Amino acid sequence: MILSSISDLTRFQIKLISYSVPCPIFLSLKKNPILYKIRDKSQHSNRILFIVLASFSIFLSSSATYHLTRPNLDTVTKASIIFFGAIVPIAISMTVSILHVNAENCVTMLNFILIYEQVVFRTRGSGQIRIYQNIMKGIVTLLALPGTILGPVFLTLINILEPGRAPFIGSAIQPDMVWVGGGGGYFMGHFAAIMLQGWIYYWLSSGLSMAIFNIFIASIFSMLVCLIEIKSWTKLNAISKFSLASILRKQLEKYNELRIIESQTNATFRAVFLPCIVLLFAVANILSSFISISCLRDGTLFHNFGHLYFLFISLESYLGSFCFGTLSGKVNKVSIKLLRGLGKHSVADYPALREKIGACAPIRIRFGNNFFTILTPLVIIGVCVKWTVKLLLIKMGC
């Protein structure tokens, strides 16, 4: 169905991740049934990965803090330092949270959805859901794969073209250091730093793209399509009030099953992943848009390869914010409409059914103590535009 339609793309994404570190989550090779599984002892085998990622995150944050205290730095350079010093540690936290720490919850949620889809769409013709499958494939192909491929390429090229750029590891390697020992040591130090960072970028880009698009977006989109399908059952021509009551009971049953998936989804994403993704897209959008617009005004947007990377991030963050925010809010909106429709169609002769419908709550995708509504992406974009304009005014001295 929806989630199973991108199974080949997800297997490809897992294969890309496994080129750097074995991915704890994998898909069975069987076509029927398609199930997600967890590799044995994956967390123990990736202990070195956790140490490297934690050390790299601490270094980036510390290096960014140190370089921001240096005098005579222009606003664009400071924004660039803050961008890498904040975005990369946040992205690492998100990826580790989904693919390693909460891998079991994630696999349970995905398998719930796969089984639920088969039950809900059992009587639906394949041609009627093909459009939703193509939309899901398009989202993964246009957003996940470019991020997986272009992300590490751009970042590694930035480190190669500007090896001493702050706050990366190369900024700590200076030719006058005692341990460097001349030009050969200086070159080898930067070469080792570029290789290590390139490996981290590759793992991070492929893992983060899979976590956001192949897992989170795909799960939410599947829930949305299932809600639309359940809601459409009352459009059937009912012969009598008894057949209508049967349809309402079936709708209520499937809706309550979907609420179980909602609980598992919130258990997987609510604590770390969703708060981080909101912060990630907001900070990335504000800083990358500010840097891109500033470079465009100064006529230097195409003079530096790193400036093009910020333009790419700005566009990607806009698309990502609308994509994940709108889908999550749409699930809440459609669930409210479904419950209202069930209440209107409930017949007077079945008060018990009406009470069960009235006791149901709408589905809410939560991040921290909040939840997504249909207006959440507009709020996020509004905040991003507001702070981008503020930074531009500060740069112009207004």
Q: How confident is the model over 157-190, as pLDDT tens digits?
A: 989 988 888 899 988 887 766 455 556 777 888 8
Question: What's the domain range around 301?
Answer: 4-396
Residue 285 corresponds to which tokens in the numbers above? 């959008």
Inform me whether the pLDDT recorded for 238 exceeds 50: no
- How confident is residue 239, by pLDDT bands cut at 50, 70 and 90? very low
How far apart CA 229 and CA 343 sit, in angstroms, is: 17
Beta bridge partners of 38: 25
- Hunting for tokens 């080129």 — which residue is that? 19
Rounded to an integer, the average pLDDT of 365-392 is 91
The per-residue pLDDT for range 36-90, each reduced to its tens digit, is: 888 865 554 677 888 999 999 999 999 999 999 888 888 888 999 999 999 999 9
Whether the link from the prior residue into 167 is cis, omega within 30° of 0, is yes
pLDDT digits (tens, 9 = 90+) for 312-338: 889 888 888 888 888 899 999 999 999
- How many residues does the structure list for the chain? 398
Answering whether pTM is above 0.85, one says: yes
* Overall number of domains in the chain: 1
